[in-house]
Structure 1
């Protein structure tokens, strides 16, 4: 199984986003630097980070030293919860740009919605300004449920392009995915491998044997075929390469149906309705 070129999804503003990338949550210092450099070396072009991860500066360094032209790389970062509000959000964005050592960011997300809708409104106003000022190529949401998205759509002049959510075989978010598709919002799935908890699942192991690949590759391929942007996280070079080599095979309809049937509503992260 070889590694082919990553497909792109077109956002609602026409920007093309790579469908497969690398997540960097809990990747610190040199391990973040080395992971991103290796990812870029093998052809990955989507790098996902956040202010919370405390690794923006290392990722920026890796991008600069990789030799890959900046315009070929798609970088996502996120606004942390303590910086909601118009002026706070604008200042936080500038701090992220300085840390990343970038003139612009490809995709900027509100990391969590929170419960203060007035503050959320002002935060989105700041995001719209950043977008209109061409400091970001796309703006979006992270961990937003339907009610949160409805609020944004009711007040926005620029619609969100992406919603990054927890998504894996045991928590498939079918209703939210359908809603986002209707609103032309692309879904990015975080924790696609369930922190490795699914590697020994008998159904997934059997599928891996059928397709002569690893359980992780089955899970990533499943999300790709659902039309999801996938950002598996690893700092191990061999695992990063493995996660990337999923583009030369397809799961058949019966395999997709089997994986779809595994959903049991089992969330592993916080519930956005009550978090923050």
Structure 2
């Protein structure tokens, strides 16, 4: 492991520093509609993560039709807000100036606090709507309701185009699907471009819904580090200087395992081997 410098496991989003492993909330509080049946467990898991020192939480108005945001708001009570970094997202149906502002205020009400990073959740074909929404988010920054602006699921061309229309603030993050199995940010040049631009890449579905946790080849690599296959898969991603990963915080056990992906790095050789495992 000595041939690779161990990066500080706090990385920058904008001017803030966040843990390289965060907590995803898709499914906590429901998927496309609210699910109140496991609210207590969801809150406990999120609070446990904060107690461990994870300070990055990812949510969206779409998750559980806003209920996931409500659970995040409940989970952060009693913690020092300034040390927590909350990401939320505006759904494409709200891509216009007034709708985006209204959606942001709705998310803020459910969270009970401001939003650190507000993302356009998915691209739409009409770029004029994207441009109008980005300008609306700039106004929300001026109002102090959100702190940073980002996008999600934007490819390289669309990211560049979006950067060009910003008037006052920069796009500081792009949240995309990225895993050992799905390395499209590497193969399309998106990752390298974002490194040069100092834009954070927030990797969702980094464990491929659990598939990589059962990979025997990754488990063999992990033995050399006393780490699991899941931890190897996550470490592969956060090895990159501008990448943070947001696996779902499904249980305390899984959360602690995810947390163990930080504080060390795969060697270059083992990182190459990990690519060949999938």
Scaled by the length of structure 2, the TM-score of the pair is 0.86
Alignment of 1:66-145 (within 5 A): 67-102=78-113, 104-145=114-155
CA RMSD of aligned residues (A): 1.6
Which deviations, in whole Å up to 9, do the C-alpha atoms of 1:51-108 show, x marking residues without a partner?
Answer: 11121111101111xx321111111111112111111100000000000011x21111
Alignment of 1:50-61 (within 5 A): 50-54=60-64, 55-61=68-74
The answer to whether structure 1 residue 195 and structure 2 residue 209 are counterparts is yes
2: CA distance, partners of 1:70 / 1:18: 15
Aligned to 1:179: 193
What are structure 2's unaligned runs of at least 5 residues?
1-7, 30-38
After TM superposition, the structure 1 stretch with the greater mean CA deviation from structure 2, 254-263 or 71-80, is 254-263
CA contact (8 A) 2:20 2:262 kept: no
2: CA distance, partners of 1:98 / 1:10: 26
CA contact (8 A) 1:113 1:144 kept: yes
2:236 to 207, 222, 225: 222
Aligned to 1:242: 257
1: CA distance, partners of 2:135 / 2:41: 35
Aligned to 1:151: 161
Q: How many matched pairs?
A: 254
What are structure 1's unaligned runs of at least 5 residues?
1-5, 264-276
The answer to whether structure 1 residue 161 and structure 2 residue 175 are counterparts is no
1: CA distance, partners of 2:108 / 2:158: 27
Instruction: Give the drift of 1:220.
Output: 1.3
Instruction: Give the drift of 1:261.
Output: 4.6
CA contact (8 A) 1:34 1:235 kept: no
1: CA distance, partners of 2:277 / 2:164: 34
Which deviations, in whole Å up to 9, do the C-alpha atoms of 1:147-194 show, x marking residues without a partner?
Answer: 211221221122200000000001112121112222221101001111
Scaled by the length of structure 1, the TM-score of the pair is 0.87
After TM superposition, the structure 1 stretch with the greater mean CA deviation from structure 2, 235-244 or 25-34, is 25-34
Tell me, what secondary structure is at the counterpart of 1:41?
A: helix
Aligned to 1:269: none
- Cα 1:249–1:18, aligned 2, differ >3 Å: closer, same or farther? closer
The answer to whether structure 1 residue 259 and structure 2 residue 270 are counterparts is no
